[in-house]
């Protein structure tokens, strides 16, 4: 962590997370932190943040197999003709934008 990052983190409001764990887990985490030259707290925060970022990124990404990806890309490149329901929805939306006083919300 750079000095600027450490200062910014220190200026932010800090929160605490209590953690209970078996002694063997504590010893393993402490050993790993020491090998990296980190305090136990730095190590735990860094590891938890890495895991949180990975989980959030995984939830934001849509994974498609080749067949599914091809279908999506083909639909983007060659969209189908609008059906009657879509045409009616577009017409209704256009009318509501042209006449905002009709009481219907866009």
Domain for residue 25, yes or no? Answer: yes
9 pLDDT exceeds 70? Answer: no
Q: What's the pLDDT score for residue 11?
A: 62
Domain for residue 73, yes or no? Answer: yes
Query: What pTM does this model have?
Result: 0.50
3 pLDDT exceeds 70? Answer: no
92 pLDDT exceeds 80? Answer: yes
Domain for residue 65, yes or no? Answer: yes
- DSSP assignment of 9-55 equals HHHSPP--------HHHHHHHHHHHHHHT--HHHHHHHHHHHHHHHH
- The tokens of 29 are what? 């985490």
Q: Domain range for residue 35?
A: 17-100
Domain for residue 9, yes or no? Answer: no
Domain count of the fold of the chain: 1
50 pLDDT band, cuts 50/70/90, is: very high
In the chain, what percentage of residues exceed pLDDT 90? Answer: 66
Euclidean distance between CA atoms 58 and 56, whole angstroms: 5
Pick the closest to residue 30 from 51, 44, 15, 46 (CA basis): 44
8 pLDDT exceeds 70? Answer: no
40 pLDDT exceeds 80? Answer: yes
12 pLDDT exceeds 80? Answer: no
Pick the closest to residue 40 from 51, 29, 55 (CA basis): 29
Domain for residue 4, yes or no? Answer: no
Domain for residue 77, yes or no? Answer: yes
Domain for residue 37, yes or no? Answer: yes
């Amino acid at each position: 962590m750079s000095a600027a990052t450490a200062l910014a983190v220190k200026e932010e409001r800090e929160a605490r997370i209590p953690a209970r764990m078996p002694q063997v887990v504590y010893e393993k985490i402490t050993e790993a932190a020491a090998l990296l030259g980190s305090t136990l707290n730095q190590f735990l925060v860094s590891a938890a943040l890495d895991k949180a970022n990975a989980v959030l990124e995984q939830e934001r990404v849509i994974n498609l197999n080749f067949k599914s990806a091809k279908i999506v890309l083909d639909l983007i490149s060659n969209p189908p003709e609008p059906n009657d329901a879509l045409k009616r929805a577009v017409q209704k939306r256009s009318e509501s934008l042209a006449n905002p006083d009709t009481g219907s919300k866009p």
